[in-house]
Amino acid sequence: MSAFAQKENLTPVNNTIDTISFKVDGLCGMCKTRIENAAVVKGVKNAEWNKSTRMLQLIYDKAKTNLDEVHSSIAKAGHDTSLKKGDDKAYAKLPACCKYREANSTSH
């Protein structure tokens, strides 16, 4: 019976891990690094931003964080997400190659 209890302890079931994708504005490799670093708050297992699609794939533990925290952290770094506008002061400090708002306004 104790062997069963030990095996049960070694194989915990974790239903709190989730994977989601959402849009984050950015333009270049520097943006990719900044976005991914900002997305990794406590509870985030992996964050990968795709420059071509501007989509961030996130694997996170819902018991340790929530999407609002992730969106807020990215916005504080100066990047707009599908839910939050990037902080204007942080955006103003981004390198010229990362100014996605200007790039978006000239492409229309």
Q: How many residues does the chain have?
A: 108
Q: Burial, 55: exposed, middle or buried (Cβ in 10 Å; 0-12, 13-18, 19+)?
A: middle
Contact 72, 66 (CB under 8 A): no
Per-residue pLDDT of the chain (108 residues; tens, 9 = 90+): 444 444 444 444 568 999 999 999 999 999 999 999 999 999 999 999 999 999 999 999 999 999 999 999 999 999 999 999 999 999 999 999 999 998 876 543
Kindly state the greatest CA–CA separation across the chain.
70
52: in domain:
yes
The CATH number of residue 62's host domain is: 3.30.70.100
pTM, two decimals, is 0.83
The pLDDT score that the predictor gives to residue 104 is 73
Domain ranges, residue 27: 16-88
1: in domain:
no
The pLDDT score that the predictor gives to residue 37 is 99
